[in-house]
Chain A
C-alpha cells in the first residue's frame, strides 16, 4: 500500500505541479529545500490527498514534517489511516 501511495503522489506531482519538467523526483526529496513545489503547490497537493484518500488535513497538520516530501506525506497518510481508518 505504501508503494502505491508513493506512486500516486509521484504521478500527481509530476503531472499537475511539475508538468513533467525538472528534476527526477525521489520519495525522500524535500519540496522546500529543493524548490520542487512552492507553497501554493502544497495547498493543491493537500486538496488532492483530501479528495483522493478521503481525509481532512487539519490546520495544525500543515507542517513540513507531514508534507515536505512524498515519503513524509505517505507516512502522514499511514498515520492518519490508523486514527481515521480511511486509507
Chain B
C-alpha cells in the first residue's frame, strides 16, 4: 500500500498544479470566504461573470471536462485524472457552484440522446461557461417519487406546449438552458407516460421565482411554465421514454454529489480547544471527547474510502458501491457538528452576531442549512434504499402505483 501517484499520474498532477498556480489564488488556511457553496445574492452579476471567466480559462487549458472526448473539447482523460484535478483545485479559491449541474448532469444526458448538430451547438459553449444549464426535475408533488411528476407537455404541430411547475431548481435564475422531464400521457402507468426535452430558459412563458430557505439564502427556485413552446426537435429520447432518459441524468448525479460543505472535524476540534467550559477547555470534557472521536473516524473513514475508490479508478476498474455513502454520512455529521459547536458556546450559542459568535457564526449558519443537505440530491431515506437495493441486493419497495394509469393515482393534500 502507498499513496503515491503512478509516474503518469504524478506528471498530470504537476501539470495541473502549474496551471492552478499560474491562474488561481491558493487558499490561505485562515480563509473563510471559500465556505459559501453558492453565489452570494448581493453581487450575483459580478460573481457570475467571475465564474464564467474562470470556466473559460479551465476549458481552454483542457481541464474543464477531463473525461470527455477531445472532439467535444474534453481531454479524453481518465476518471483518476479528474479526481486528481479536483483534489488540486480544492486548494485554490476558485468560483464554484455554477457549472456543476450543467456539465455533470445536463450535458452528459445530451451526449447520450441529442443529435450531433445539437451537440455542436451546445457542448462547447457549456464547457466554456458561455451557457449555464439547469435541471428541471423535482415538482411540488414529485420529490423522491420523481416519476409522479405532473408538468404536462402536449403535442401541437411540430412543437410541444408545456404547462406546470418545477421546484428546487438550482441556478434557474441565471441559467440559459434546461433539461426537463414532462408528462405526455396520463393514461398509462406513471413511468411510461414521461417525455424528456431540453429548452431555452429564455422561452416565453417561463417564470422563475426564488425560494428563501431556512438559512435566509436563496439557492433554489420555483419555475413556472405557462404555454411554453418547445420544438419536437428538442426531445431527448422517444416519446414515453422520459424515465429512461432521466435515469441517465440521475446516475450522473450520484457521481457528482459529494461531501456536505461546512465545518468539519478539524473545525470542531479547533473550537473545543479554544472554548472554555466551567472545568477548562471544552476538549477536556469526556462527553465532548467521545463525540470528537466518533466524528474523526467518520471523517477519515470517508477520506480513506475515497482512497479505495481512487485505487479502483487508477487501475481502470469501476469504483465499488463505496461512493454511495459519502453524502449520507457527511450530511448528518455536519448537522451534529453544527449543533454540538453551538452547544459548546453555552448561553451565547443562539447569537449569530460576529461580535460574539466564533468563526463568523459558521456553526450557526451550518445548523440552518444542514437540513437541506440531508434532503437535496437524494434524501437520507432514498440513499439508504439505494444502498440496500443496489449494494446489498435487497428487494425493491412495494409499489401500489406500478400498474395503475397515472390519472387514477391517489394524491394527498401536500
Q: Are the chains A and B members of one assembly?
A: no
